Structure 1
């Protein structure tokens, strides 16, 4: 019997899923941060913990796993892989593949082994793979390197919008009352001075205030969410053009909590417009399956197997891990 493992290592959690070649789930494990960029030893310990929890549930050992696919946040550049390969081998993996967490989100969201993925959680990222297997990543590093948005930037947009409305540079906004309630201040002046005097940072949850404000028609919230969508649309179009996918049929998979929880089209709308212009035959779809499922499918494919319709149907609805809110740098 052949066994396969998929691992999804993010900045706040690491999931491991163990199946047989038919896609039957035999074991699962969960632990903390799996991003080596915020601590290689911590990431190694958490990847190990999640993997061995899944093995223990199945009553198997690591030597029983035919292939493992690790989709890891921070697996972006050669310097990252130079760290990750020794790290993964030190855990005991021998037959394995490492890829970015964006690509397992892509694989989980489409029935094709190629396409484009857009992530908008704590940060943003865009990546794709074409029919020939060529890969391209656009962004994923922060504002200085060309990115915009994600919860780790939109929280600041909310804060500065409230400040600009308070001092008269912008029109009044519903975000003001919502932010004051979230942070526990009676006035914008109190908040402004306390943040300046004590060097405080805006909590990531402030980004979530955009959705109810947009639903109520707030112009400032709508403008921020629309810009987020436009920026992600530019990233998708860049990936499509770089990989020569303008005339192909494929899916653009939307992942990350700002795209999958709360958005009513304010972000998605501009993305769909940009994708239509870049690749008229592409479809924009929302990820509804755990990305770790995409890691399992990638493990099977790395061993030369094809994902059958039975495996898709069996695993597509896997949702046995609890969702984790945006509270860290990278999902």
Structure 2
């Protein structure tokens, strides 16, 4: 019997799963931040811990693992891989691979080993793999470097829209009473002064107010979400064109709270329009499966050259890592 390890190392948590040849989960491990860009020493320690816990539960050693696949936040550029390659190599897995965590999210969201993924949670990112195995990342580096949106930017859009409505530069918006209630202010003047005097930044959670206001017909909120959808659509178009996928049939996987929540159609509808314009055979799919499952599937594929249907079927319904019972 062979065994396979998948790891999802993110900025707030690291998940590890071990399965056998049939896709049966035999071990799992969880720890904290696995992003070296946030804290290299902490990331290394947490990745080792999560993997160690999974192997211990499975009663296996590193030598028992046929392939280990690591999806890692912050694995964006060659400069990152120069840090990550030795970090993972020292773990002692004979066969392993490292990719950006966008790629395991893509694999978890489709039944194909190729496609496009758009991430829109706290930040945004996009990536793709074509049939030939060529991969590409587009964005994920900040507003200065071409990105727009995610909760870490939409929160500012909410705040400034309320300010602009208050001082007369924009039309009134339902975001005003929603934001005042969320932040605990009696009026916009008090909020404006407090934030300006103390150099505050609105919390990321206020981005959710866009969906509440948009659902009630608020034009300001709808326009912001439309811009988010159009920007994600541009990223998808760039990946599709550059990977030569315009005539292909594949999934565009949407991942992250801004595009997967129930009200996400305020964003995803514009993504779908942009994708259809350049790749009419593509389909939109929202990520429902834990990304670490994508890492496990990619470990099987890397070792076997393909993913057995039985392995896919056994893991395709895992929507919450914490609900995995052994």
TM-score by length of 2: 0.96
Deviation digits for residues 96-139 of structure 1, max 9, x if unmatched? 10001111011111111111001001110110011111111110
Deviations 1:22-45 (A, max 9, x none): 111111111111111111111111
What is the alpha-carbon distance in structure 2 between the residues aligned to residue 29 and residue 206 of structure 1? 32
Question: 1:158 aligns to what?
Answer: 158
For 1:18-167, what aligned pairs fall within 5 Å after superposition? 18-167=18-167
Distance 1:195 1:93 in 2: 50
Rounded to whole Å, the distance in 2 between the matches of 1:21 and 1:308 is 9
Mapped to 1, the partners of 2:138 and 2:322 lie a distance apart of: 29
Does the 8 Å CA contact 2:258/2:264 hold for their aligned counterparts?
A: no
> What is residue 304 of structure 2 aligned with on the other side?
304
Report deviation, 1:199.
1.1
RMSD of equivalent CA atoms:
1.3
User: After superposition, what is the alpha-carbon deviation per residue over 1:287-323, rounded to whole angstroms, capped at 9, x for unaligned?
Assistant: 1111100000111111124212222221100134259
Instruction: Tell me how far apart the structure 2 counterparts of residues 79 and 138 of structure 1 sit (CA, whole Å).
Output: 16
Partner residue, 2:203: 203
With over 3 angstroms needed to count, the CA separation of the structure-2 counterparts of 1:92 and 1:184, relative to structure 1, is farther
Secondary structure, aligned partner of 2:44: helix
Is residue 44–residue 91 contact of structure 1 (8 Å, CA) maintained in 2?
no
CA displacement 1:148-184 (0-9 Å, x = unmatched): 0001100111111111111111111111111111111
- List alignment gaps of at least 5 residues for structure 1: 324-331
Measure, in 2, the Cα distance between the counterparts of 1:304 and 1:60: 20
Q: In structure 1, what is the equivalent of residue 253 of structure 2?
A: 253
- Higher mean C-alpha deviation, range 193-202 or range 265-274: 193-202
Q: Residue 128 of structure 2: SS of its match in structure 1? A: strand
Counterpart of 1:327? none
How far the C-alpha of 1:201 sits from its partner, in A, is: 1.5
Unmatched segments (≥5 aa) in structure 2: none
Residues 73-97 of structure 1 show CA distances to partners (whole Å, capped at 9, x for unaligned) of 1101100000001111233334210
> Which residue is 2:233 aligned to?
233
Query: Alpha-carbon deviations, 1:255-300, whole Å to 9, x = none?
Result: 1111112434110001000110110111111111111000001111
SS at the partner of 1:71? strand
Q: Equivalent residue of 2:266, what SS?
A: coil
Q: How many aligned residue pairs are there?
A: 323
Bigger shift: 213-222 or 56-65?
56-65
Cα distance change, pair 258–322 in 1 and its aligned pair in 2 (3 A): farther
Does the CA-based 8 Å contact 2:18-2:26 persist in structure 1? yes
C-alpha distance in 2 between matches for 1:198 and 1:294? 43
Secondary structure of 2:195 counterpart? helix
Give distance in 1, aligned partners of 2:118 and 2:322.
21
Question: Residues of 1 paired with 2:322 and 2:184: CA distance?
Answer: 29
